[in-house]
Amino acid sequence: MTNLAQMLTDTVAEHGDRTAIKLDDLQLSYDVLDQAVARAAGMLAAQGLGPGDRVGIMLPNVPYFPFVFYGALRLGAVVVPMNPLLKGREVAFHMSDSGAKVLLAWHQFAAAAREGAQEAGAECVLVEPGGFEQRLGAADPVAEIADRQDDHTALILYTSGTTGTPKGAELTHANLRSATQISVDLVDADADGVSFGGLPLFHVFGLTSGLNSAVRVGGCLTLLPRFDPAKAIEVLQRDRVTTFLGVPTMYAAILNDPARASFDPSALELCVSGGAAMPVEVLRAFEDEFGCKVLEGYGLSETTAIASFNRPDRERKAGSIGIPVDGMEMKVVDADGAEVAQGEVGEIVLRGPVVMKGYWNRPEATAEAFDEGGFFRTGDLATVDEDGYFTIVDRKKEMIIRGGFNVYPREIEEVLYEHPAVREAAVVGVPHESLGEEVAAAVALKDDADGATVEDLRDFVKQRVAAYKYPRLVWLVDELPKGPTGKILKREIEPPS
């Protein structure tokens, strides 16, 4: 009963003939989705997957994603979602750290997936249109839902924070169910709603607010595997999307696309933005243009993507991340854990039903992440105003948000240090018009660097990390700016003009 997969079975009983998933011409009803999920579960069971086993899913927003996601959950397995753009060594890390034995990967990214799975000693199953349907057809359907407790892990999401290597945030069935309910209540979703499925489902924001929310109420999710503003406008119009879910860069791209002139936004009821702070001028322009409220929210992988939100029924404050969602205790505290006075800056700490269980196999990191009162330390610095609205002002953790994706400088610096010519490296975010921030690196070479160029360094990183992470801008310096005892001064690093 507590398995999240039960949600799908309940919805199928009530809304079986309604459309669940759309991808252009393809329309799948909840009945069909259920059958596909049953066969995916059967296929995974035949691979030896059972309750508690981890399975990697490395797919873009295609209908196969919900098949294998709910199929794995139905067996009681733990899903490890991965960005399809990850490189072999990154895939290997996710697989071996989580102990996943099976990887389901999109055929277009077969090389990195196979390489990573092999290195981790896991099996790689390619998901390819046609071939995969045959595999599903050959599997025995599984209707039975494995018994899971509320605190059993459903999802392991990798996030880096300040460490060089990512940690897996363990989200439970209860976490996912709570986050889904909060998301449904927030936008008042129902079976008549159509949500925009352009946010990646391997990311917890898209998974919760997009897929799980639609499945919860029997609504429709219309998928867009690769975001393009003109295509997005076409989908919004064609499917009469009622709820738009996006990151700020998507809003800006739509706003700046010529196709918007012919867009009839009358179906659009509500827009939700997360992942990064939205420039206030973009928010205002979007609302003016399409006559539709944009609600900004805030959350982390560790809080199932959701923590605070502006509400449709209350004043919406531009630039603010709103007020805590139902059931969430949210405070701003000083270094000693005491709540700061109104208007003062402190760290956001959170406690509530959507806060993760801990970091997979990392008891020390887990212990450090929570304070004595069981509040999760976010590393985000914020203020609270007189109405209880929170505004992010800075971050304790080092992070670049590039087009809604988090890039951790530490991780990229470690890759740069693997290059034999690099003596010092600092990865920083530089302002970027459409992406918000772009990844950049200042590098000092060793004396015997042997003529390494910035192109060499950029390519070196590009080959080793997902495309959204590598520094587009690399420049050489004699040495990084340093303080008197040799600590580098990141704030003083500026790209050459």
Q: Which is nearer to another protein, 130 or 486 (CB)?
A: 486
Instruction: Pull the structure tokens for residue 471.
Output: 């520094």
For the chain, give the number of residues: 497
CB of 396 to another protein, least distance (A): 4
Containing 174, the helix (H) or strand (E) segment is helix 173-187
CB of 446 to another protein, least distance (A): 6
CB of 378 to another protein, least distance (A): 12
CB of 483 to another protein, least distance (A): 6
Q: Which is nearer to another protein, 110 or 365 (CB)?
A: 365
Q: Which is nearer to another protein, 23 or 454 (CB)?
A: 454
Q: Which is nearer to another protein, 379 or 436 (CB)?
A: 379
| Measured CA distances, 243 to 22, 109, 193, 197, 489 (Å) | 15, 30, 7, 10, 44
Instruction: Pull the structure tokens for residue 283.
Output: 């928010």
CB of 204 to another protein, least distance (A): 22
56 DSSP assignment: E
Q: Select from 30, 114, 105 the least CA-distant residue to 68.
A: 105
Q: How far apart are CA 113 and CA 310, in angstroms?
A: 39
Q: Select from 398, 422, 418 the least CA-distant residue to 474.
A: 422
| Measured CA distances, 445 to 66, 228, 360, 461 (Å) | 47, 39, 37, 15
Q: How far apart are CA 19 and CA 25, in angstroms?
A: 12
Q: Which is nearer to another protein, 291 or 374 (CB)?
A: 374
Torsion angle of the four alpha carbons 344, 348, 353, 354, in this order, in degrees rounded to the nearest 10: 130
CB of 337 to another protein, least distance (A): 12
Q: Which is nearer to another protein, 322 or 379 (CB)?
A: 379
Per DSSP, helices labelled H in 75-130 are 88-98, 110-120
The string of DSSP codes covering 396-424 is SS--EEETTEEE-HHHHHHHHHHSTTEEE
CB of 278 to another protein, least distance (A): 21
**Phi and psi dihedrals of 104, rounded to 5?**
-100, 115
Binding footprint of another protein on the chain (CB under 8 A)? 161-164, 335, 345-347, 368, 379, 381, 394-398, 410, 413-414, 417, 422-426, 446-447, 479-480, 483-488, 490-491
Q: Which is nearer to another protein, 74 or 377 (CB)?
A: 377
Q: Which is nearer to another protein, 211 or 332 (CB)?
A: 332
